[in-house]
Structure 1
């Protein structure tokens, strides 16, 4: 199943789950179920954003976007996380009001049933999408999978809270669990925001990633003198790497080109979508070289 079909599946499943949760939430009067319905509606919107962002990010580079459209995924991931923060704040606000003025929950079994159904569906779909996201190194798909996976835990937590309310009669448990749910999803959103936003500012790859790329370059150190001005960044599922490579002045253009091809191929084995730019410098032009 391709990425577009996976995202469509996510949209359809989320739509069904949102409708069920909201209907049952208002029917039972459970703020926890309603809050989970709002959370799932954010997942639905996120799935729609993911669908379009993947289509945009997959477009090849053009005259107006010579570096491609990869950052569309980062923009989508950032928007999705901000939506989760908004949903979390709304849930906490409603829960505090319900805590101060608790009301009896009607037919809690219905709420428990819809929570368990939503958790079962989302755990399957989130795992499928997450596997595809790892293969494609897609930030938007990872974001979508995370939304669905957090929905599993929040749904199970709310099902447990409804069961406890039914067994104990402690109505305050409903808004308290809702608040805990909101805090949890906001924490997960923060973790994702730290992954999706930095590439929008062209943040470099991690030290571990750069060290591995430099190790690949240095496996050819017998053929060049040094390399400097190393830079890296990420946009969506693609990595951009460029550096200056100083070669012996007697090296032929053909040999230097072949060396660059080898380095680019090996970096490509490490990052399948890496865009590598190597600026060749003959030895006598090395004046202000920077130590790597």
Structure 2
């Protein structure tokens, strides 16, 4: 199946390769951390392994969402499937929050039942290796996601980086236990790590909600209007009623163009088509532009004042 126009073949290959690597390394990290937990009995390592379980589940859903999001529009979904990216980011954020809750629960339970820890040196080395690998992988995923305008991949990369920071925190806590011999540091470290990743999960959920609610980013709006001002001056047009929303990979723009009453319809349509063709090349995201042609002279008599002034804009 051909990818939609918003993603070229090279970007699609890069994004899918990155997602496959994330899934493979996620499974390997989970196996390594689980092994370390069985050898040590550490609550901190258990918390790290639990976060990895959530990560694998989230990556599997993200991989499905990525494949679905690149399908072209059809008769069932006329605007395409790209908005699944926001569901994926929200799901991943929710999984991070659930992982944090489980980490806190298991750490408290471990403290109540007794603190029996062994082979901490081995466990610390395993978690440190996982942290370094995840740091490199997370940076790669975020970089690839931003380059290809893939919120799914960027969210997954931030989740991997969260996993990395979790592991580094665990390494720090276990090192203190090794140095001091004070075992309560183990569950305390796990709880501190959980509180830290709550912010990351909440941020992803918030980004998902904003995307699904068609939040109009002020910076994007300012940039769009600057480009429209320049183009309309070049083409001899006036405009109002600008609206836009992002779908994950691209931006959809609607704008009303005002023409003199006596301008032939064919010429007005030609200028509108030129704007539709030129504007996407000036924007940072791939764009689809829809214009609505109106008469300048009697416009205020036909429409309400808020329509004429372009609110909402």
Q: TM-score normalised by the shorter chain: which range applies?
A: over 0.9
Contact 1:224 1:246 in 2 (8 A): no
Cα offset, 1:273, TM superposition: 2.0
Instruction: List aligned pairs for 1:76-87, cutoff 5 A.
Output: 76-87=88-99
Q: Distance in 1 between matches of 2:274 and 2:190?
A: 55
Q: What does the per-residue CA deviation read over 1:28-48, in whole Å, with 9 as the maximum and x for residues that have no partner?
A: 110110110111111111211
Determine the structure 2 residue equivalent to 1:189. Answer: 201
Structure 1 alignment gaps of length 5 or more: none
Deviates more, 1:211-220 or 1:246-255: 246-255
Q: Cα distance, 1:224 vs. partner?
A: 4.5
CA RMSD, aligned part only? Answer: 1.8
SS at match of 2:308: coil
- Which of 33, 36, 52 aligns to 1:40? It is 52
Partner SS, residue 241 of structure 2: strand
1:256 to 263, 268, 278: 268
Deviation at 1:188, TM superposition (A): 0.6
Residue 290 of structure 1 corresponds to 308
Q: Does the alignment pair 1:206 with 2:217? A: yes
How many residue pairs align between the two structures? 291
Which of 145, 164, 173 matches 2:157? Answer: 145
2:255 aligns with: 243
Q: Is the 8 A contact 1:11 1:44 kept in 2?
A: yes
- How far apart are residue 171 of structure 1 and its match? 0.8
- Which TM-score applies when normalising by structure 2? 0.87
3-state SS of the aligned residue for 2:27? helix
Please list every run of 5 or more consecutive structure 2 residues that lacks an aligned counterpart in the other structure. 1-12
| Equivalent of 2:290 in 277, 281, 287 | 277
Indicate conservation of the 8 Å contact 1:98/1:175, yes or no: yes
Q: Which has the larger displacement, 77-86 or 215-224?
A: 215-224
Deviations 1:100-133, CA, capped at 9 Å, x for gaps: 4441311001211111111121122112211211
* Separation (CA, whole Å) in 2 of partners of 1:140 and 1:273: 17
Q: 1:14 aligns with which of 15, 26, 31?
A: 26
How far apart are the structure 2 equivalents of 1:261 and 1:36? 55
Give the superposition deviation at 1:2: 2.0
Deviation at 1:285, TM superposition (A): 4.7
Matches within 5 A, 1:121-132: 121-132=133-144
CA distance in 2, matches of 1:150, 1:254: 56
Aligned to 1:99: 111
SS of 1:219 mapped into structure 2? helix
